[in-house]
């Protein structure tokens, strides 16, 4: 009987330890270029994996620091989408890291890819070394190939996911000065006398805002160098 009671107590203690959580401080310090240009504050959708499940909350650029509870001993992932659909800022927490977490555009692609991986294997993501992945992959990498290998247990050499820039010729869009979402991308101008601009981009999805009309264009660059350009109405 004593042994049964002892084992029951151990089970309860183990269950309680599994449910333990702790707080981390998440900060969004990078301003979106479009917000600065239009002088209109943006709201963001913050999606995060607390080590057990994905949660979501709406935050505003006027309040960019908040405490979030995450599961003890597990990796957490944070992704903030300006206006719920623009290029994300990302960050993560690996057990043992500083509990002050800063979300950056440079980590947005990795964090968003890991959120996608959660749909298939949340336990895998909860045990990843996020900090190591950031240093190995950098800002631009083959997201699709990385995701497939990660889920198949084949991730080993980060060099397998290196990507190169491709030239993109931009034409047949409204004239004006176009700015990117963040400062790691080029700006360009379409004038009356020059209806074409050429920039270089890694594979991925990009958006550029026309400073005068506030319409924006999206450019999707594929892994083979092909690309698609579309224009959209103002969203700000």
Q: Where are the domains of the chain?
A: 20-135, 166-232
Provide the CATH number for the domain formed by 20-135 in this structure. Answer: 2.60.40
Distance between CA 106 and CA 88 in Å, rounded?
9
47, containing H or E segment: strand 43-49
Q: Are strands 54-60 and 196-201 parallel, antiparallel or unpaired?
A: unpaired
User: Model confidence at 12, in pLDDT bands (50, 70, 90)?
Assistant: very low
Three-state SS for 88? coil
92-136 pLDDT tens trace: 999 999 999 999 999 999 999 999 999 999 999 999 999 999 999
Distance between CA 171 and CA 30 in Å, rounded?
30
Instruction: For 13-42, give the DSSP string.
Output: HHHHHHT-EEEEEEEE-PPPHHHHHHT-PP
User: Model confidence at 19, in pLDDT bands (50, 70, 90)?
Assistant: low
HSE, side-chain direction, 13 A CA sphere, residue 111: 30
| Global pTM value | 0.87
Distance between CA 112 and CA 190 in Å, rounded?
32
38-90 pLDDT tens trace: 888 889 999 999 999 999 999 987 788 999 999 999 999 999 999 999 999 99
What is the per-residue pLDDT for 16? 47
Give the mean pLDDT of the chain: 89
Average pLDDT over residues 215-233: 94
Are 155 and 132 within 8 A, CB to CB? no
């Amino acid at each position: 009987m004593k042994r049964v009671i002892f084992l029951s107590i151990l089970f309860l203690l183990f269950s309680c330890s599994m449910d333990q959580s702790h707080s981390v401080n998440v900060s969004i310090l990078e301003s979106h270029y479009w917000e600065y240009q239009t002088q209109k504050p943006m709201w963001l959708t913050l999606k995060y994996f607390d080590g057990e499940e994905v949660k979501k909350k709406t935050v505003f650029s006027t309040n960019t620091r908040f405490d979030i509870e995450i599961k003890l001993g597990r990796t957490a992932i944070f992704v903030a989408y300006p206006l719920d659909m623009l290029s994300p800022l990302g960050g993560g927490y690996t057990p043992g890291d500083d509990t002050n977490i800063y979300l950056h555009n440079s980590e947005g692609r990795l964090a968003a890819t890991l959120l996608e991986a959660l749909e298939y294997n949340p336990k895998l993501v909860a045990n990843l070394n996020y900090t190591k992945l950031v240093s190995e992959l950098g800002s631009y990498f083959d997201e699709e190939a990385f995701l497939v290998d990660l889920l198949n247990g084949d991730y080993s050499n980060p060099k397998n996911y290196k990507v190169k820039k491709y030239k993109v010729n931009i034409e047949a869009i409204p004239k004006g000065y176009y700015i990117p979402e963040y400062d790691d991308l080029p700006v360009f101008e379409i004038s009356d006398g020059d209806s074409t601009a050429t920039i270089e981009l890694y594979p991925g999805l990009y958006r550029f805002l026309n400073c005068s009309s506030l319409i924006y264009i999206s450019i999707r660059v594929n892994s083979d160098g092909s690309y698609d350009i579309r224009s959209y109405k103002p969203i700000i």
